[in-house]
Amino acid sequence: MSIHRIQTEPIDGQKPGTSGLRKKTRIFMGPHYLENFIQAIFDGIGGAQGKTFVLGGDGRYFNDRAAQVMLRMAAANGAKKVIVGQNAILSTPAASNLIRLRQTDGGVILSASHNPGGPDEDFGVKFNTPNGGPAPEGVTAKIYEATKTIREYSILDAQDVDLSTVGTTKLGEMEVEVVDPVADYQALMEKLFDFDKIRDLFASGFRIRFDAMHAVTGPYASAILEGALGAPSGSVVNAVPSPDFGGGHPDPNPIWAKDLVDRMMADDAPDFGAASDGDGDRNMILGKGVYVTPSDSLAVLAAQARLAPAYKDGLKGVARSMPTSRAVDRVAASLGIDCYETPTGWKFFGNLLDAGRATICGEESAGTGSDHVREKDGLWAVLFWLNILAETRKSVAELMADHWRNFGRNYYSRHDYEAVDATAAEGLMQALREKLAELPGTTHAGRTVEAADEFAYDDPVDGSRSEGQGVRVSFEGGGRIVFRLSGTGTEGATLRVYLEDVEEDPARMDAETDTALAPMIAAANELAGISERTGRSGPDVRT
């Protein structure tokens, strides 16, 4: 085996976003593209010499080939060891756990999360640091700088490593350990939740439908829900990971998981429904006849946390991304704990978790998690809900009704305008920025603006500042609209409009979400001129 040092040149556009670098799969498959970025990761973290890394992915198209490239490059760059999931499979939360459990120097996760997979769809690579979380901005900045100055990369001339068999082998001088992707993660879940209580729940006839969406969580859900907890066989559907996610879109929301939603709204629906995404870090929660928004799910988990063994002593604090509804803020106030508002991107929660300031965190985009790892965790959220249901023996609908009576209801929805012309999207945002100062006191769709700004975040742990994180417009009475451009797409720009309003009268908490939010929807269009600037008559996706 010999090391080749391949001459190359910088490739434009390799700046990592909130969750690594995401591009169309064929771009990653192009000459030097993947290799340049992996070398930039190694260079950006000060080299790979003598280091140990975790490697895994969500099984999407090109995952297997990219894993072999990463292994050969790690060996050529002097890495001591790579711990890789069997068949290059690891859910993102499982990878985070493995990084922390083995105290490695970080890990490379091959995933584009909830984006579709296939030769004409999306692929992604991100680096997680030794705390198990996504690389913070200081690290991604160094990686990006390395992509702009790269002149060569190192790669070992070797045959593929057999990743199908658990065990240890050598690749040049580097050790490669292939591990069961589920075992360590399942052991962690057994420490966090009362598996005996959940087993009793299923033994009582409780029915669940978990849609793995042909993605990475399938093996985890099958092993834990059906295997360890005794859910009836067939409770987990679409459980085999597929390179193109069965031709679907592995995003757990009412649009892309419509089959699950339809099943849960049927007269003979199971008691509980859930789904997870491409790499296993997101979740969707449903009960019989009820959909739980991610924002409400976060609030319920915080309010009921003491029912799970891991959180029986209470929470140190909670945190949410800025666009997430303020439902959890009300819970935090009731509990007398801190509630932090951060930019979008799980890496912003890392400092709070590491510093012991927060225990549970969440994003409106179907991501919730806690200090057990440094990523959001879809199956963790499902098990948390099951633990609560097992303790209370209430239905999801009853739990939600109780929660709203206690804390008020934050009606909430996100409208996505996808693949919008980037210039038009930037123009819309700039026009909003220019009139922020004059908005307070003005009335739109019958609602009066209380405050308006562009969100900036000062990290309370390390003092870093993140600006330009989205435009916020707050209304008297608790309504709020947030406008921001997403960094997770691969084409054009995605305009996201987050709509929220508060209802405290129990007699008015059963309205349809679109009805309750009608004033906010109208105000958003009036404020931003969405139709005129984007040419769209409505959003592509409502969640």
Question: Which residues are identified as catalytic?
Answer: 113
Please give the structure tokens belonging to residue 323: 């666009």
What is the token pair recorded at 114?
Answer: 């909830």
Structure tokens at 167: 């065990």
257, 284 Cβ separation under 8 angstroms: yes
Q: Indicate the helix (H) or strand (E) that contains 407.
A: helix 396-407
The answer to whether residues 533 and 409 touch, using CB atoms and an 8 Å cutoff, is no
Please report the DSSP string for 278-300 in residue order.
Answer: TTS--EEEEETTEEE-HHHHHHH
CA distance 525 to 495: 13
Q: Which DSSP string do the residues of 145-159 spell out, in sequence order?
A: HHHHH--EEEEEE-P
Q: Residue with structure tokens 């978990």?
A: 210
408 conformational bin, left if phi > 0, alpha if psi -120 to 50, beta if neither: left
Spatial separation of the C-alpha atoms in residues 90 and 71, rounded to whole Å = 15
CA distance 27 to 41: 18
Give residue 14's identity as a one-letter amino acid code: Q
Which of these, 496, 501, 529, lies nearest to 514 by C-alpha position?
A: 501
User: From the CB of residue 406, how many other CB atoms can be counted at a distance below 10 Å?
Assistant: 11
- Name which of 158, 134, 147, 174 is nearest 38 in CA terms: 147
Whole-angstrom distance, CA of residue 108 vs CA of residue 103: 14
Q: Which amino acid is at 194?
A: D
Selection from 316, 375, 364, 317 nearest residue 135 by Cα = 375
